[in-house]
Structure 1
Amino acid sequence: MSKKQLNHMNNRIAVLLLGGIGLLASCSDDHLTHPPGTPNVEQSGVEVNNDVAALAGRVEMYSVPDRYVAYPWEPSAMYSTRTRALAQPPVPGDAKDMSVSDFNPRNPSGNNFVLPEGVEAEFNLNLNGANFYVNGSMTLKNVTGTGRIYVLNGGSLSYPDHLAAKVEIYTYVGGKFSFRGNDFSTERESVFHTQEDLSIPGSLNSQGVFNVDGELNVGGELTIHNGGMSNIIVGLNVAAKTSVSNGMLYVQGPLVSPDFTASAGAYIFSTCKGIYEKSLSVTENAVYYATSYVKSPVTTVSSGAALTMNGAGLLDLGNLKVTGGASVEVSGNEYAVVNTTGIEVDRADLRNVFKGNMGLHYKGDIKGVEDQSKLELLANVKINGDDDTRLEESECTPGYTPDAPDDNKNGVDIDHIAQITSPQEHDHYLSATCVQSANGNVYVSYHKNGAEYDGCAEVFRFGSNNEISLISYMRPTEARDFNHLIVDNGNVFLTGGDRKGGFLAYLPLGADGVYQGGESSMSFVRLGAGDANCVVRNGNYYQVAASNGFHAINATDMTLAGLKETEGSAKYINLGGDKFVALNLASRNEEQAGAVITTYGLNDYTFSNAQARLTDAVITPANGKNVCLSDDANIYVALGGNGLRRYTGGAVNGEFRLNGKARVNGLDYDDTYIYVAYGEKGLRILDKQTLKEVASYTHSGGKSANFVKVVDGYIFVAYGLNGLQVFRLTER
């Protein structure tokens, strides 16, 4: 027998002995005893940590920010695109004629020069910091110095094969640019910009700004590195390998290259499609962001890099390998499809590997994970046949039609917002047990798994953009567990147990709803029970469900107002409308026990007069968590392994049960859905009218969903050893 079970039995014997000597009268199922005097109230210290920065590492956000909605760098004053092209600049009135005999190209004197229309000229030119406007045909055999050349409509420029630092060339619509040789290169702090198409027979090596408003064709390799930035509008075609390292590439049309590698913090933005005949590699913290389509037979994402697709896009990635903290993400609210022939990873927890709203398709097992049952994925990642995402064909994507039919889908998806891991201050696993909201905060309780005691409680707060912060942590100085909590009258009230038995504890909160540090202490009302499971505030009373029955405690002076003993452990109390319901077990059998659901008038603070009682359901096993809720017309009860049952007007009116050994532990509801904490089967969301499942999330690895609470559209699940999980429903 465990220590918790032994404590439970000892306290039960103590209650029976006290009843035998007249301190507690024995009672039938409907009889209420009234113990006299003040309860045994203890004081105990607490350890408090309100250091938000120190606690921040416990919160892991999963939502993918819409980071890539504009140009990846700020365009300069001369930068333009075909969609917002600048008119070519006028020739300044003080521009000197380059065709006159006294023009000295080796040492031009002045700020502005012009080669007139119809004039052909060839120079060894020192730019000398000036501006040169080309209306005629100019050939430059050699270029020194720094400056700017503008190739205007009707003009042409023939240039050497290298663009030096701080040299800028702008070719406008109707202008012509060419260079001598096969390969072309640019240095850092140079600018090349053409509004026309451009073909380079050999390779392009760019370290400066290289912008093409038309189509860029590269006959050899394209290399962008050392801070280089390129913007290609109509399309980019590369005959050999493309490499972007510590640089930026923005392509608004099709991007075609046999091999493509982004590394060393590179930034790639592709708004149409990227087609790679051999391979795609995104590594070393590079970011490849696509809005429509990417296709590659072999894809590697590694070393902190991110391959991100907009919602409604398609990543067709062939054999996909994601390692070293890298990720494949979907940005936005719409679903995208990640289609692969196989996946290889270096970890089983893939919640930070595949992020966002995606249908993830692969064949066989995921390589790199020895036990496929240990795979962990976000709720909004739909696997293979569970995905029904359809993508329409467009100019930039071939579209996608799922193998699975749409008929069984319900139009509701679960967005996985965040996880808050169990507290690290303990040297053992803790299980999250309850979630409540108050003061604009979210409060969570924990207990230790097993026979020993060592729980704690925490406070969280939402910030902008759904960011969740852990702002306060409390741990008693003496070992005890917490099973349930409420926030009331400036205090947090927690039920639980320790080596002395069950209790109702209360601790003052600060003005902002966090635990107070310093000399704070916690008060304990002893209940003569082995454990305490639930607390509610009803009128001027705290009503507590404990292992020996239902307690009423006066909220003014915290004295016991009565105890209604139960044959089995009292599990839950829920206030609803003009009544409340109370759930207890009909026996002490831990294998299974009858569920006793009793309805009381709301003002029946001491459980004196039952209005109705339901006894036809069975809870199995009977040593876990169970919740019973009521609304205006219905009662919903968690029956453990026997699932969820709904009663209407005292009669059974629907059930929900999954095959297997998982148990329904917690329930909550809103106007549309019922939210079920279904143990190792995870979170199940049901249509409130039909009890048909519309969405689900199961955390792998045997972790258990113990309690669920819906607050302002957010779903908080106390997920046992996996801490607190935060979700949100989205409609398709």
Structure 2
Amino acid sequence: MIENKLKLGFLAASLLITVAGCSSDDNVDATASQEESGVLSNSEMKLTYGSKLLGNYMSLKNSRITFNRFSDASQSQAVAQALKTVNSYQPDLTNAVALTGNQWYTINSGDKYYIPANTTFTGGINFNGAGTLIILGNLGGSNWLNVPNGGVVDVAPSGNIQSTANFHLNAGSTLNNYGNVTYTTQTVDGTVNNFSELVFTQQLSLNGSSVVNNNCSMVFNGFTQLNAALNNGGFADFKAGFHINGSGNLVLATGSLTDITGGNITVDGKIKNTSNGFARIDISNAATIGNMNATPAFEGKIDINTTATIYSSKINSDVTLNANTFIASNSCTPQRGLAACDDSVLQFTLAATVQSPTVNGAVLSATDVKVVNGNAYVSYHTNDEVYGDAANGSVRIFNVQNQQAASLTAQADFNNAEFNGIDVSGSKVYAVGGNNAGSRLMTTPLTAGAFNTNDLSVFTTHKLPSITGKNSFVHNNMLWLVAGANNGGFFKLDPANGFAVTDQFYSQGARAKYVAQNGTYQAFFAVEGSGAYLRIANIDGTNPQEYRYPTLAQTVQDGKNVITMDDEYVYVALSDKGVAKFSLQNGSLVSHFVPNDYRVNGSKVFKQNGYTNGVAVNDCYLYLANGADGVIVLNKNSFNVVGHFNLAESANYIYADNGLLFVATGRNGLNIIKIN
């Protein structure tokens, strides 16, 4: 490769040096050196350093951002609503007749009877028509109560149907339970709306005319046949297994928990979740999995936790196994999983906004960020749609140790190079991009995290393969590079040999997008015409595995497609296809979220139809830069939507580190945001 050093000689006609506050001491502390200010320039670049000269770019805000928070996805919305419903329940006793003692009563159509609070009724009831029974006290005794078509039984929060009562719902009847019900007969033919605690004590058949809606706690002590829909929005415990016939469905909701603690389970119908967040199923070692004739038997965002074997053909791509999804504890549902992240306290503060640099009249756009030892290094390029093919770029250094008072300490502007990606390794900056002559790499050493302010010749450029460099990282003295367009692809280069190419792993330059690493693995991503392409290897490039995902084919293929990683997963921004989460162990697609498809109560939430331009991750959350829809926050484990917020302009890129977010909004600048 040819190494081109910038023309950085100390020419009197082109070099301007202004230094203020220099110390005569040999040992200058970091604070003092940051207060020095000056400008060095030549025909190729200008270096400005010191917060005194650069302070006008910064605007400290420290103002709370309005975070549009959704309901806690670790708790079912059905449960939350059920608790509100129980607390607000008020019986309508207008013209109602009290049932007392052990007498017999007849309820005809239009009649209304009630059992008073703090009393137990042990008599008999002939329920002949579409009347109403309100239970404020206890329904006891051993007589049968057959609720007919049109009949309604309300069990108030203080009410109780005791285990001695033989209670049965016929087709067309309704039980609304806000209290405690023990259901001892063996069939359900009507509708059950459960907002509190209900126990089925016997072997049970939910017949075809039945509809069972569980919004709180429901226990099945005997083997259960599902011939119709059982909708679990809360906690359901099957102690003796179940069979779902072809006409039956177990329908789960976000944040619901289903325990299978005994017996055998077989499925001809479906166990499914059609909501946006995860439901959880726990299958204990005391239970067995029998015939799964349905293919798949499990559909949607369901986390199944079990040591038993479930064949991949029986679950669709949205289902996860043993993810230990967190379910919050409440009066309906026991806690499961680890509550590492508390969505309810997540908030954001806009610490500062930063104006973009202007070079040769072009207002630049931030493209990449790396934070090392309290300094943020940011690369900039020129927006071709606005300024044509002019190659103007910049690299900045921010001191972000004080998250409430970040400062811009250095800015290196370039007249003939722009930068799409930046990395910092071994006290050196590596910024990749290009100019009209092709792809370029700029390197410069750092001293105590700062640029050398005495000699511009240490800023050097190197010719790279293809037309433009997209991003890179350095590991073990080798540069791993993604370059686009003609002759581009994914490369390994040797810095000790003039950045000569030693290996090329992917050759479709127009498809190559991004590379990332987490200290253990590296991942390279490309957008192919037939779908997404992912190459995962050890960080040194050994043991590479290639994966393709036809279902993730993008309509919009000219986005940046940023990827990021944690210890176990790689997260990929997919433009119009949203964001996807993949396992680093086996490349499996773990989760997928498309903001434009997200709805709450049937209404589209993100109405600007933004594309997912960038993605960032921390211990708890995944942050999406989603264009005009702003920043969307997902729980990274469940992929449930926690909330979203908007900035003054479209969110084009995002980076997270140590409690800070850096959100680029194109030529409108950079936002530094404090998390909590």
TM-score, normalized by length of structure 2? 0.50
Please say if 1:484 is aligned against 2:336. no
Q: 2:515 aligns with which of 666, 676, 687?
A: 666
Counterpart amino acid of 1:269? A
Structure 2 CA distance for aligned equivalents of residues 197 and 653 of structure 1: 80
For 2:207, the equivalent position in structure 1 comes to 239
Please say if 1:178 is aligned against 2:144. yes
For 1:550, the equivalent position in structure 2 comes to 443
Higher mean alpha-carbon deviation, 233-242 vs 265-274, is at 265-274
Structure 2 CA distance for aligned equivalents of residues 336 and 52 of structure 1: 48
Alignment check: 8 A CA contact 1:308 1:329 kept: yes
Structure 1 CA distance for aligned equivalents of residues 410 and 496 of structure 2: 41
Counterpart amino acid of 2:176? Q
Percentage of matched positions with identical amino acids = 11
After the TM superposition, which residues 578-593 of structure 1 pair with which residues of structure 2 at under 5 Å, given as runs? 584-585=463-464, 593=465
Structure 2 CA distance for aligned equivalents of residues 703 and 233 of structure 1: 60
Structure 2 CA distance for aligned equivalents of residues 149 and 514 of structure 1: 63
Query: Residue by residue, what CA displacement relative to the aligned partner does 1:447-495 show, whole Å, maximum 9, x if unpaired?
Result: xxxxxxxxxxxxxxx9547997665474525631223333356542322
Alignment: residue pair count: 466
For 1:676, the equivalent position in structure 2 comes to 524
Alignment check: 8 A CA contact 2:206 2:225 kept: yes
Higher mean alpha-carbon deviation, 466-475 vs 479-488, is at 466-475
For 2:594, the equivalent position in structure 1 comes to none
Instruction: Give the superposition deviation at 1:239.
Output: 3.5
Counterpart amino acid of 1:168? N
User: CA 1:274–1:148 in 2, change beyond 3 Å: closer, same or farther?
Assistant: farther
Instruction: Give the superposition deviation at 1:319.
Output: 11
Alignment check: 8 A CA contact 1:245 1:266 kept: yes
Structure 2 CA distance for aligned equivalents of residues 729 and 307 of structure 1: 10
SS in 1 for 2:187: strand
Query: Residue by residue, what CA displacement relative to the aligned partner does 1:386-411 show, whole Å, maximum 9, x if unpaired?
Result: x9x8xxxxxxxxxxxxxxxxxxxxxx
For 1:426, the equivalent position in structure 2 comes to none
For 1:504, the equivalent position in structure 2 comes to 395
For 1:686, the equivalent position in structure 2 comes to 537
After the TM superposition, which residues 287-302 of structure 1 pair with which residues of structure 2 at under 5 Å, given as runs? 290-291=258-259
Structure 2 CA distance for aligned equivalents of residues 178 and 416 of structure 1: 43
SS in 2 for 1:381: coil
Q: 2:424 aligns with which of 536, 544, 556?
A: 536
Gaps of 5+ in 1: 1-11, 25-33, 75-123, 133-137, 321-326, 340-356, 362-379, 390-412, 418-461, 571-583, 586-592, 594-620
User: CA 1:68–1:182 in 2, change beyond 3 Å: closer, same or farther?
Assistant: closer
Structure 2 CA distance for aligned equivalents of residues 315 and 68 of structure 1: 32
Instruction: Give the superposition deviation at 1:416.
Output: 12
User: CA 1:242–1:144 in 2, change beyond 3 Å: closer, same or farther?
Assistant: closer
User: CA 1:178–1:54 in 2, change beyond 3 Å: closer, same or farther?
Assistant: same
SS in 1 for 2:469: coil
For 2:653, the equivalent position in structure 1 comes to none
Alignment check: 8 A CA contact 2:203 2:223 kept: yes
SS in 2 for 1:241: coil
Counterpart amino acid of 2:444? H
Gaps of 5+ in 2: 16-40, 84-96, 107-112, 284-288, 327-339, 358-362, 383-389, 434-439, 576-611, 623-635, 639-676
For 1:187, the equivalent position in structure 2 comes to 154
User: CA 1:40–1:653 in 2, change beyond 3 Å: closer, same or farther?
Assistant: closer
Query: Residue by residue, what CA displacement relative to the aligned partner does 1:324-376 show, whole Å, maximum 9, x if unpaired?
Result: xxx9321366699999xxxxxxxxxxxxxxxxx99754xxxxxxxxxxxxxxx
Q: 1:329 aligns with which of 276, 282, 301?
A: 301
For 2:475, the equivalent position in structure 1 comes to 630
Alignment check: 8 A CA contact 1:314 1:337 kept: no
Counterpart amino acid of 1:476? Q
After the TM superposition, which residues 105-120 of structure 1 pair with which residues of structure 2 at under 5 Å, given as runs? none
TM-score, normalized by length of structure 1? 0.47
Instruction: Give the superposition deviation at 1:554.
Output: 5.8
For 2:591, the equivalent position in structure 1 comes to none
Q: 1:54 aligns with which of 50, 53, 66?
A: 66
Alignment check: 8 A CA contact 2:187 2:205 kept: yes
Counterpart amino acid of 1:551? T
Q: 1:561 aligns with which of 451, 455, 466?
A: 455
Please say if 1:230 is aligned against 2:198. yes
Alignment check: 8 A CA contact 2:215 2:233 kept: yes
Task: Report the RMSD for the aligned CA atoms in angstroms.
Answer: 6.2
User: CA 1:334–1:710 in 2, change beyond 3 Å: closer, same or farther?
Assistant: farther
For 2:236, the equivalent position in structure 1 comes to 269
User: CA 1:48–1:542 in 2, change beyond 3 Å: closer, same or farther?
Assistant: same
Alignment check: 8 A CA contact 2:82 2:195 kept: no
For 1:81, the equivalent position in structure 2 comes to none
Structure 2 CA distance for aligned equivalents of residues 685 and 163 of structure 1: 64
SS in 2 for 1:563: helix
Alignment check: 8 A CA contact 1:278 1:297 kept: yes
Please say if 1:146 is aligned against 2:116. yes
Alignment check: 8 A CA contact 1:282 1:307 kept: no
Please say if 1:250 is aligned against 2:218. yes
User: CA 1:711–1:300 in 2, change beyond 3 Å: closer, same or farther?
Assistant: closer
Instruction: Give the superposition deviation at 1:241.
Output: 1.7
After the TM superposition, which residues 259-658 of structure 1 pair with which residues of structure 2 at under 5 Å, given as runs? 259-260=228-229, 262=231, 267=234, 269=236, 271=238, 272-273=241-242, 275=244, 277-278=246-247, 280=249, 290-291=258-259, 308=279, 310=281, 328-331=300-303, 360-361=315-316, 381=318, 463-464=341-342, 471-472=349-350, 474-476=353-355, 479-488=363-372, 490-498=374-382, 501-509=392-400, 511=402, 513=403, 516=406, 523-532=410-419, 533-534=421-422, 536=424, 547=440, 549-552=442-445, 559-563=453-457, 570=462, 584-585=463-464, 593=465, 621-631=466-476, 636-638=480-482, 641-645=488-492, 656-657=505-506
Alignment check: 8 A CA contact 1:214 1:235 kept: no
Structure with greater Cα Rg: 1
Structure 2 CA distance for aligned equivalents of residues 181 and 679 of structure 1: 60
Alignment check: 8 A CA contact 1:654 1:691 kept: no
Alignment check: 8 A CA contact 1:719 1:725 kept: no
User: CA 1:197–1:643 in 2, change beyond 3 Å: closer, same or farther?
Assistant: farther
SS in 2 for 1:627: strand
User: CA 1:18–1:627 in 2, change beyond 3 Å: closer, same or farther?
Assistant: same
Structure 2 CA distance for aligned equivalents of residues 19 and 475 of structure 1: 31
Query: Residue by residue, what CA displacement relative to the aligned partner does 1:569-628 show, whole Å, maximum 9, x if unpaired?
Result: 64xxxxxxxxxxxxx41xxxxxxx3xxxxxxxxxxxxxxxxxxxxxxxxxxx43131424
For 1:45, the equivalent position in structure 2 comes to 57
SS in 2 for 1:665: strand
